[in-house]
Amino acid sequence: MASIVERVEGRACVLRGSDIDTDRIIPARFLRCVTFDGLGEHAFEDDREQAKGDHPLDDERFAGASILVVGENFGCGSSREHAPQSLQRFGFQAFVGASFAEIFAGNCTALGLPCITLEPNDLEALMDSVTLDPSQQVVVDLVARNLTYKGGSLPAGVRDGTRKALLEGTWNATRVLLEAGDSIDTRAATIPYVAGFGAA
């Protein structure tokens, strides 16, 4: 059984911009690996290189943050789990944004990392507040479905299924899927092509 994820608490890091894709999160050359170890240090490598130290992940004021605050459609592009893996290994345990690409959000859930969404005005307020005072504590609370920061408490969007999986510690789906036991094979036997379309 996977662990239960009810809340993530810590400092936050603000990464502005929308449509930030997985090639930027972890450039393809770092996918030449057979384990996810060591990916943390390459998170956003090319963006950081081009920003010459001026990237939020290199901003000392955000150092040690456990919550990454992003814009719209974060994680679009490829299905590479290397993207959330690298961010997790960099130290992030939750993502807060306007919206997330679907496969990215699914991959996060599979790693026990919540992705929550805020209303645009709330997100803007949070980004401004954290930028002004990065030392503040931010709390993502899945039980209460909200996010708390210096400015108060904001309603947080999270898919029911995802929330339940995180709260019940069932986000490692393999175990859950295995519980179906023989009914997997029973179902399969009713699907015409699995049964060979009646051929032997």
Q: Which residues bind other proteins (CB under 8 A)?
A: 16-19, 21, 23-24, 27-29, 31-36, 46-47, 49-50, 72-73, 76-82, 84, 99, 101-103, 106-107, 110-111, 159-162, 164-165, 168, 170, 172-174, 176-178, 180, 183-184, 187-188, 190-194, 196-199
Tokens of 48: 């950081």
What gap in Å lies between CA 83 and CA 81, rounded to an integer? 5
CB of 28 to other proteins, least distance (A): 5
CB of 132 to other proteins, least distance (A): 20
Classify 115 as helix, strand or coil: strand
Q: What is the DSSP letter of 100?
A: B
- Output 83 or 130, the one with its CB closest to other proteins: 83
CB of 47 to other proteins, least distance (A): 8
CB of 155 to other proteins, least distance (A): 19
The beta strand positions in 38-174, using DSSP E, are: 67-69, 94-97, 115-117, 138-141, 146-149, 152-155
Q: Dihedral angle at the C-alpha atoms of 47, 52, 57, 62, nearest 10 degrees?
A: -150
- Output 53 or 192, the one with its CB closest to other proteins: 192
